[in-house]
Structure 1
Amino acid sequence: MADPMSVFQVAGRAMSAQLVRMNTTASNLANAGGTTGSAETAYKTMKPVFRTSFDAASGLATVDVEKIVTAGEAPTKVYDPNNPLADKDGNIYQAAVDESREL
């Protein structure tokens, strides 16, 4: 049988989950406005999915990061034939990161 979790373990796991949230937000903001030549290679917004974990031995609950998923809008297609990244039709694709939502 596993030892009961201490309050420090609970807090540490919660802070680790928050760090993942902050890192994905920072990555999303860093890639806002990024452009590419195809919709497939355009940056997709990342979001962490959390899961509650209950420790029956101590009666404490904490949070874990279950996975990180891509979410949000499709990349924005912009006609810009003079851009060196433009595809054969003259389009570029911008990452659809909603900066105000991220903040």
Structure 2
Amino acid sequence: MDLKSSVSVSASGLRAQSLRMRVIAENLANQGSVSQTPGGDPYRRRVATFSAQVDRASGATKVEVKGVASDKSAFQRVYQPGNPAADAKGYVLMPNVNSLVESADMKAAQRSYEANLSAIEAAKGMTMRTIDLLK
């Protein structure tokens, strides 16, 4: 794999992890967002999905964003009869966002982003040393 392909692969990883961190930030920002109507569904956690895609031109395997999907896990029910979002029995559905899970996912995405950035910096350094040798 040449340097251009390695930078391209790392750049696709940067884009993917950047999207992942944005989706996680949205989840954390909406972890307290309940329905606007009584008995309605609150904010549903979202998850970025990826796949490996072979670039025909270079033969390198890159990260491709498949999309952002909703997490189908159940909502937590909390008894709050005075809440405007409460159903007839006084229960409010809370978002299926767990801040500990989101924090762990954010840390993993951050580490992956940093690893891809380090790979790009290493490729840049090798290119600069090659240019210096040719002078």
Is the TM-score greater than 0.5?
A: yes
Deviation per CA, 1:12-71: give whole Å up to 9, x if none. 2221111110011001111113222334x3111111111101124323111011121111
Q: TM-score, normalised by structure 2?
A: 0.63
Q: Which residue type is aligned with residue 7 of structure 1? A: S
Q: What does residue range 28-67 of structure 1 map to in structure 2 within 5 Å? A: 28-36=27-35, 37-39=38-40, 41-67=41-67
| SS across alignment from 2:7 | helix
| Greater Cα offset, 87-96 or 18-27 | 87-96
Relative to its length, the structure with more helix (as a share) is 2
Map Cα deviations across residues 64-98 of structure 1 (whole Å, 9 max, x no partner): 11121111521111221111222233221110211
Q: Is structure 2 residue 91 aligned with structure 1 residue 91?
A: yes
Unaligned stretches of 5+ residues in structure 1: none
Please give the secondary structure, in 1, of the residue aligned with 2:21: helix
> How far apart in 2 are the matches of 1:69 and 1:97?
14
TM-score by structure 1 length?
Answer: 0.79
Structure 2: gaps spanning 5 or more residues: 104-135
Identity within the alignment, % = 32
Q: Is the 8 A contact 1:33 1:96 kept in 2?
A: no
Cα distance in 2 for partners of 1:56, 1:85 equals 52
Rg bigger for which structure?
A: 2
* Structure number having the greater strand percentage: 1
- State the distance in 2 between where 1:81 and 1:57 align: 61
SS in 2 for 1:35: coil
Q: Residues of 1 paired with 2:74 and 2:54: CA distance?
A: 36
